[in-house]
Structure 1
Amino acid sequence: MPEPGLSPVRSALPAAAARFGTHILARAHADASAAALAVTGPPHAVAARPEALAAAPPHAVAARPAAVTAPRATGTVPAPPASVPVPGPVAVDAPGPAAAPVPNPALEHLLRGPHGLGTAGLYLTPRQAPSALPESAAPVAGRPIPGLYHHPVPEPDAVRVEEVSRRIKAWALDEVELYPDDWEEEFDGFSVGRYMVACHPDAPTVEHLMLATRLMVAENAVDDCYCEDHGGSPIGLGGRLLLAHTALDPLHTTREYQPQWARSLHADAPRRAYRSAMEYFSQHASPSQVDRFRHDMARLHLGYLAEAAWAQTEHVPEVWEYLAMRQFNNFRPCPTITDTVGGYELPADLHAQPAVQRVIALAGNATTIVNDLYSYTKELASPGRHLNLPVVIAEREGASERDAYLKAIEVHNDLMHDFEGEAAALAATCPVPSMLRFLRGVAVWVDGNHYWHQTNTYRYSLPDFW
């Protein structure tokens, strides 16, 4: 079947591309203007030199709620290499009662989307620079958690959702034999097609979307079959995860034992899914993007093992210990591949910078607490004791269930404000086009992840705390 394009009538992609991530880029605009004024002196008509952007302090971000007072540690990002085009001077006019904010060319460049040699294929429909950023459309299903800081997103493109859903089910059934017949309703209820289309609206083709979708389904299979609902157990988890990880990070052994390892990759559904999903991903990703993903999956598996160890010893961690575990057992592998799914690459030397790593970590931490909050009632109804942030806060801080849940919302909101502040500072200090697009892509993923949790009423329902 030919790969469908976006519906010219129903597609929300052009508008979404202009709108997504603007809550971060607006802060970067403010940071860049403030930095230029700080470096060039009194506010009169001057040209903001590129070094003015590099001098912007990492903590110079838009005002956050008064309750958030903890200082932030930030990494240092070097100035962009000379070979990378950097936006030219920005005229800074004297402020006045009627003066409008001066546009930031770097941010306007990003909002228009990629351009230049080799980028035409990143667009699925002809694009024009928007005259104004449209308002976000409210989702049609589910209700958000009261008090949870988030950004509404438009409904994902229905044509793409249908095609991704069809392809992922065919892959799960025919290629990797992922689940038996009695799991079909649960697989359909996961709504992974809607999830991934919402998280990656700039994917140039459906096949790019499938890269993320296969990996998401494979990761979920490992979690379910090794750790959670479908036969999972903390006992022996380390051995199972190690062997599954070799489907992502191949074993290099002797000729005598290589065939036995190769056969083991087909031994169970999680390993079959990991092997196949990684094979597809490696065909489209650069070697550095592949290795980046492997690293993040090792982090994920380390988090699984920590949680399993606590389950075996019936240990309830301190809140800070739980948050440390959740920095590893979290969604980080998903937003970190946003450039691969978008059809471009954030260079490895930029991706490895401490400031970039902090932004990605904060995004993963915030989105994982979203999961804790939306899955709270589902986990309470499941057999055994499930650790999540409200449960740990209630146990360790002596709070009621309601107060612990509301405290967990505050923790999430603090993480989100830190994520947005750090991303805005990074966009201002390193306005390389690939960096700006990557930061926007991570912000899109954060918003799409919340959208899926909020609207997936098959899986989630809210507690009666309001």
Structure 2
Amino acid sequence: MPEPGPSPLPPRPSDAVSRLAALGLGIAARPAPRPPAAEPPVPAAPPAQAPVPEVHAPDPAAPAGGPAAGPGAGVRSPALERLLRGPGGLGTAGLRLAPPPPPAAAGPGAPAQGRPVPGLYHHPVPEPDPVRVAEVSRRIKVWAVEEAEVYPPEWEEQFDGFSVGRYMVACHPDAPTVEHLMTATRLMVAENVLDDCYCEDHGGSPVGLGGRLLLAHTALDPLHTVQEYAPAWAQSLQCDAPRRAYRSAMEHFLRQATASQADRYRHDMARLHLGYLAEAAWAQTAYVPQVWEYLAMRQFNNFRPCPTITDTVGGYELPADLHAQPAVQRVIALAGNATTIVNDLYSYTKELDSPGMHLNLPVVVAACEGVSDKEAYLKSVEVHNELMRAFESEAADLAASCPDPRLLRFLRGVAVWVDGNHYWHMTNTYRYSLPDYW
């Protein structure tokens, strides 16, 4: 079935939802422009083990801080029901995602289940495929130790405790191969190495951060300079762990991504670095931002680079003209903002136990609005819930107004990334614990 061409976003007609519900979608995954080398045989996750990437319609009657919702919560529009059923048409049977199986029984080495933040609006996901988790975990450690040299032996426990393999398999269940998963996993590790070494608890400092970030960014967005100075720049990419990790992860990413996807990722990483700089400037001047200022910073210093590569990891492409549409950008921004507040909530006690003052949403709300720590935390849960419901509502509207199959698949991919991100935070009891506010 030929792949449809780029579609503009038309005004939403009154019968868009009903027409979308009746539409048969044939979603053809485009092969990566440069296929990866043949992999050792690793069983692919069977369709029955993949969670349904859901875009959930919010329940208008539900309170902002209401109880956690499962996948069936809320009222789904016909457009959303069509998304959840998956693609139809010739050649698309392999893309249909079956309902998730019941979680596997806990056994030796099974991840701790953790518990969700009470009142947090979220959608449970099944345990990620353990075969893929094990293989991604093995490969990423080999890459981190032997190729990128991103951590010394004394950091090994922290690296293992991050559980990045489980994280990425949960967030990208539609990845066609383990190497596609590795594309996301290397980038995730590289981003965290830079954050730890430049900004956080492994030698990070706000002093001089701008210069370090700019030079590291050239590992993603290469320097085009005169011949005399090019060797010094190339050598600089090996001088510290963040630059080594960025360079290597980006080289692997370029083997899977189109030129447009690579440029999109560079742009999102520039956004991330801008957010780092704003937070560093506030730290240097001991400035506590207003809540709206903090949320503006977090729109940049957030997870956005991760869900926006969901099409690369899935082996297809959302065309640039669709990705750049304001409605698409709003959905992506809301997803990034909601997932980042999840991080604020789960890492709250970890940051309170760290030296100095760490800005997160509960801390800023308490400081600016004169409420107790508990009240500030519970209000932050409400902020997350409002962002999450806005993301789901806007995604549903977008799916109805622009039923391009590639966009629908991308929206489903972003939605399952949001759910997988919450799953990882909730279950990563090595890193996170909840405050005693209930």
TM-score (normalizing by structure 2): 0.83
Q: Which residue of 2 aligns with 1:14?
A: 48
Q: Which residue of 1 aligns with 2:380?
A: 408
Q: Which residue of 2 aligns with 1:369?
A: 341
Question: Within 2, Cα distance between the matches of 1:393 and 1:253?
Answer: 46
Question: Within 1, Cα distance between the matches of 2:196 and 2:384?
Answer: 25
The alpha carbon displacement at 1:116 in A equals 5.1
The alpha carbon displacement at 1:5 in A equals 1.7
Q: Does 2:266 align with 1:233? A: no
Q: Which residue of 1 aligns with 2:68?
A: none
Question: Within 1, Cα distance between the matches of 2:77 and 2:393?
Answer: 20
Given that 1:336 and 1:442 are in contact with CA atoms closer than 8 Å, whether structure 2 keeps it comes out as: yes
Question: Within 2, Cα distance between the matches of 1:307 and 1:315?
Answer: 9
Q: Does 2:42 align with 1:4? A: yes
Question: Within 1, Cα distance between the matches of 2:166 and 2:160?
Answer: 11
Q: Does 2:185 align with 1:147? A: no
Query: SS where residue 122 of structure 2 aligns?
Result: coil
Q: Does 2:171 align with 1:199? A: yes
Query: SS where residue 368 of structure 1 aligns?
Result: helix
Question: Within 2, Cα distance between the matches of 1:109 and 1:418?
Answer: 18
Q: Which of 427, 437, 444 is the equivalent residue of 2:399?
A: 427
The alpha carbon displacement at 1:62 in A equals 5.7
The alpha carbon displacement at 1:103 in A equals 6.3
Structure 1: segments with no counterpart, 5+ residues: 28-60, 69-100
Q: Which residue of 1 aligns with 2:318?
A: 346
The alpha carbon displacement at 1:66 in A equals 5.7
Aligned residues: 384
The alpha carbon displacement at 1:128 in A equals 6.5
Given that 1:110 and 1:437 are in contact with CA atoms closer than 8 Å, whether structure 2 keeps it comes out as: no
Q: 1:141 to 1:326 in 2, by over 3 A?
A: same
Q: Which amino acid aligns with 2:211?
A: G
The alpha carbon displacement at 1:321 in A equals 0.2
Given that 2:338 and 2:388 are in contact with CA atoms closer than 8 Å, whether structure 1 keeps it comes out as: yes
Q: Which residue of 2 aligns with 1:63?
A: 60
Structure 2: segments with no counterpart, 5+ residues: 1-38, 66-75, 105-110
Q: Which residue of 1 aligns with 2:420?
A: 448
The alpha carbon displacement at 1:407 in A equals 0.4
Greater C-alpha radius of gyration:
1
Q: Which amino acid aligns with 1:302?
A: L
Question: Within 2, Cα distance between the matches of 1:142 and 1:248?
Answer: 36
Given that 1:355 and 1:426 are in contact with CA atoms closer than 8 Å, whether structure 2 keeps it comes out as: yes
Given that 2:87 and 2:96 are in contact with CA atoms closer than 8 Å, whether structure 1 keeps it comes out as: no
Q: Which amino acid aligns with 1:16?
A: A
Given that 1:64 and 1:417 are in contact with CA atoms closer than 8 Å, whether structure 2 keeps it comes out as: no
The alpha carbon displacement at 1:170 in A equals 0.1
Q: Does 2:137 align with 1:165? A: yes
The alpha carbon displacement at 1:63 in A equals 2.4
Q: Which residue of 1 aligns with 2:86?
A: 112
Query: SS where residue 233 of structure 1 aligns?
Result: coil
Matches within 5 A, 1:292-331: 292-331=264-303
Q: 1:3 to 1:309 in 2, by over 3 A?
A: farther
The alpha carbon displacement at 1:137 in A equals 4.8
Question: Within 2, Cα distance between the matches of 1:144 and 1:312?
Answer: 34
Query: SS where residue 50 of structure 2 aligns?
Result: helix
Given that 2:100 and 2:126 are in contact with CA atoms closer than 8 Å, whether structure 1 keeps it comes out as: no
The alpha carbon displacement at 1:253 in A equals 0.4
Q: Does 2:231 align with 1:259? A: yes
Question: Within 1, Cα distance between the matches of 2:199 and 2:112?
Answer: 33
- Describe the superposition over 1:270-316 as per-residue Cα deviations: whole angstroms up to 9, x where unpaired: 00000000011011100000000000000000000000000000000
Given that 1:179 and 1:269 are in contact with CA atoms closer than 8 Å, whether structure 2 keeps it comes out as: yes
Identity of aligned residues (%): 73
Question: Within 2, Cα distance between the matches of 1:63 and 1:226?
Answer: 43
Q: Which amino acid aligns with 2:191?
A: E
The alpha carbon displacement at 1:224 in A equals 0.1
